[in-house]
Amino acid sequence: MKRTAICAGLLGILLCLGLSASARAGDVVVLAYAGPINAISAEYISRGIGEAESRHASALILQLDTPGGLDSAMRKTVKAEMNARVPVIVFVAPRGARAASAGCFIVLAADVAAMAPGTNIGAAHPIFLSGGIVSEKIVNDAAAYARSIAAARHRNADWAEKAVRESVSLPEPEALQQGVIDLAANDVADLLRQLNGRVVHTANGDVTLSLAGATQIAVNLNWSEEVLSTLADPTVAYLLLLLGILAIIVELFAPHGFVTGTLGGVAVLLALFGLTNLPVHLTGLLLLILGMSLLGLELKITSHGVLTAAGLTAFIFGSLFLFPRAAGYAISPWAIGIAALLWVVMLVFVVRVVLRARHAPVLTGVQRVIGSIGVAKTDLAPKGVVLVNGEDWDASADPAPIARGEKISVLEIQGLTLRVRKLA
């Protein structure tokens, strides 16, 4: 009897401890992403979800501000959200943010969708960022995808389809009213307060959120994602590509011990690495290549500026059309202007080098010593030995004497003997 009472007491204590543990708020992993949806953002969000799962976090909050982006990256993100083992809350914030195009799908796929005041969502009609007209087949596929996501999350599927087909958008109050999102919040703290005690329908069943006093754990972009994100910036990738090509051209016409060419090659490789994460417009790329080709031909063909003018025109238009006219993919006009100016300066520099070489007298290896600076290895009174261009020469001082160690200049060469004078 006494043993039974003891066991019952221990069981009661364990149950109380268990209830206390289940009632205690856990960690909340918070991601913050602002920018185009691309391979880098998809990797970052997937990594954040994995971090939340490994920590057994109570929830993951993604604070999102995006103009849209790549379909492949969006679908990878949606899959990660809908198969996460922790509740995923997507919060369109801060005030003035948006979840357009691909961002609209990401919000619809969340376990809980929220927006801050002054934000908007929608405009999810697909476009070919690399140019061309989107077919009806692609639009139908995107519309069905949006509708299926919204239906799975018990949101307004009719509006989701309309956002794809008609590019409609909604501000935060109307999105809440029409059942596109679940709640509105001023900031993350307000969002956590409203989510506490809420039942969330997840892929693993219903979960009651216990977030009162939850510890917020920020997961930021790691160093590799930061580097990739910088390289994937359209302006950065554009400038790296052009500066790299310029450096290689300068190395070809005016060698600098392969230093300039090596730096140029590295810049081009980094630019190509960034361009793989960007939608490149074919027309813009062809115009850019044409412009650089015409500018290069100016070095070979005397066109009296015609090739330069045509090349610069094609170069500027190619730069403007290199990336699509979509939010998040614009090249800074300043960058285009600076790049065009650098091309002109490079052309002037190279042309001067070429013309100088053409009009310079042809010198043999021995004749190149004339005018060189060296040092006396012995006393010259008047004859001795000097070191010029790393080689020992018999020399005659004019005038003599010249002491050992003094700097000399080569006046002329007589046979294999140099006539030198002491530098003042």
Q: Is 377 designated active site?
A: no
358 vs 142: which has the higher pLDDT: 142
Residues 39, 145, single domain; the answer is yes
In this structure, are 219 and 284 located in the same domain?
no
* Whether residues 377 and 349 fall in one domain: no
The number of folded domains in the chain is 3
Structural domain containing residue 150: 23-224
Q: What is the pLDDT of residue 103?
A: 95
Tens digits of residue pLDDT in 194-226: 999 999 887 778 889 988 888 999 999 989 888
* Residue predicted with more confidence, 259 or 136: 136
For residue 113, the domain's CATH number is: 3.90.226.10
Do 169 and 46 belong to one domain?
A: yes
Same domain, 79 and 97: yes
> Are 292 and 261 members of one domain?
yes
Q: Is the pLDDT of residue 17 over 50?
A: no
Q: DSSP of 325-394, one letter per residue?
A: SSTT-PPPHHHHHHHHHHHHHHHHHHHHHHHHHHHSPP--TTGGGTT-EEEESS-BSSEEEEEETTEEEE
- Whole-number pLDDT of residue 181: 97
| Burial category of 71 from C-beta neighbours within 10 Å (exposed 0-12, middle 13-18, buried 19 and up) | buried
Give tens-digit pLDDT for 341-382: 877 777 777 666 655 555 555 545 566 678 888 999 999 888
- Tokens 């043993």 found at: 3
Q: Is residue 386 part of a domain?
A: yes
Q: Is 120 in contact with 88 (CB distance < 8 Å)?
A: no
**DSSP symbol at 126:** -
Q: Does residue 92 lie within any of the structural domains?
A: yes
Among the listed residues 2, 20, 137, 300, the single catalytic one is 137
Q: Within this chain, do residues 206 and 112 fall inside the same structural domain, yes or no?
A: yes
| Active-site hit among 41, 58, 76, 101 | 101
Read off the pLDDT band of 9 (50, 70, 90): very low
- The yes-or-no answer on residue 101 being catalytic is yes
208 contacts: CB under 8 Å, gap ≥ 6: 197, 198, 199, 200
The sign of the torsion formed by the CA atoms of 253, 257, 260, 266 equals positive
Residue 388's CATH number: 2.40.50.140
- pLDDT, residue 7, reads 44
Structure tokens at 129: 């960022």
- Residue 334 lies inside a defined structural domain of this protein: yes
Q: Domain boundary residue among 317, 340, 359?
A: 359
What does the pLDDT read at residue 285?
81
Return the pLDDT at 20: 33
Quote the mean pLDDT of the chain. 83
Tally of CB atoms within 10 A around 378: 15
The region, left, alpha or beta by phi > 0 then psi within -120 to 50, assigned to residue 68 is left
Please tell me whether residues 135 and 204 are part of one structural domain.
yes
Give tens-digit pLDDT for 166-192. 999 999 999 999 999 999 999 999 999
Average pLDDT over residues 232-249: 84
- Residues 160 and 249 grouped into a single domain: no
Residue 14 domain flag: no
In this model, does residue 96 exceed pLDDT 90?
A: yes
Domain boundary among 224, 253, 288: 224
Q: Can you tell me which residue has the tokens 């690495």?
A: 273
Q: 3-class DSSP state for residue 422?
A: strand
What's the first-to-final CA gap in the chain, in angstroms?
Answer: 116
Closest listed residue to residue 71, CA positions, set 128, 148, 121, 120: 128
**Strand pairing report for 199-202 and 205-208:** antiparallel
Tell me if the pTM is above 0.85: no
Looking at the chain, how many residues does it have? Answer: 424
End-of-domain residue from the set 197, 224, 251: 224
d(CA 289, CA 31): 40
CA distance linking residue 274 with residue 189, whole number of Å? 36
